Structure 1
Amino acid sequence: MASTEKKTLYTADATAIGGRSGHVRSATGLIDMDMSVPEGLGGKKGATNPEELFAAGYASCFQQALLVVAQRAGDKLDPQTEVKCAVSLFQQGEGYGLSAVLDVDLKAFDEQKTMDMVRQAHQICPYSVGTRGNMEVELRVKGELMPVAG
Structure 2
Amino acid sequence: MTVSYTGVVTVTGEGRNGGHVSTGDGHLVTRLAIPKELGGAGDATNPEQLFAAGWGACFLGAVRRAAAQRKISLTSTTVVVEATLTHGDDGEFGLGTVLNLELGGVDQPTAAELGAAAHRICPYSKATRGNIPVTINATAAA
TM-score by length of 1: 0.86
| 1:107 lines up with 2:104 in the alignment | yes
Q: Where does residue 86 of structure 2 map in the other structure?
A: 90
Could you say what secondary structure the match of 2:61 adopts?
A: helix
Counterpart residue identity of residue 44, structure 2: A
Q: Where does residue 29 of structure 1 map in the other structure?
A: 26
CA distance in 1, matches of 2:87, 2:42: 23
CA distance in 2, matches of 1:77, 1:7: 31
CA distance in 2, matches of 1:61, 1:84: 12
Q: Where does residue 15 of structure 2 map in the other structure?
A: 19
Q: Where does residue 134 of structure 2 map in the other structure?
A: 137
8 Å Cα contact 2:34-2:42 kept in structure 1: no
Q: What is the root-mean-square deviation in Å for CA atoms of aligned residues?
A: 1.4
CA distance in 1, matches of 2:118, 2:36: 32
Moved more, 127-136 or 31-40: 31-40
Match of 1:9 among 4, 8, 12: 4
CA distance in 2, matches of 1:70, 1:136: 25
Q: Where does residue 119 of structure 2 map in the other structure?
A: 122
Counterpart residue identity of residue 88, structure 1: T
CA distance in 2, matches of 1:33, 1:81: 27
TM-score by length of 2: 0.91
| 1:38 lines up with 2:22 in the alignment | no
Could you say what secondary structure the match of 1:20 adopts?
A: coil
Counterpart residue identity of residue 70, structure 2: A
Q: Shift of the alpha carbon at 1:98?
A: 0.3
Q: Shift of the alpha carbon at 1:142?
A: 3.6
Deviations, residues 35-79 of structure 1 (Å, cap 9, x unaligned)? 01112212224300000001111111110000001111112211x
**Aligned residues with identical type, % of pairs:** 36
Q: Shift of the alpha carbon at 1:88?
A: 0.0
Structure 1 unmatched runs, 5+: 1-5, 144-150
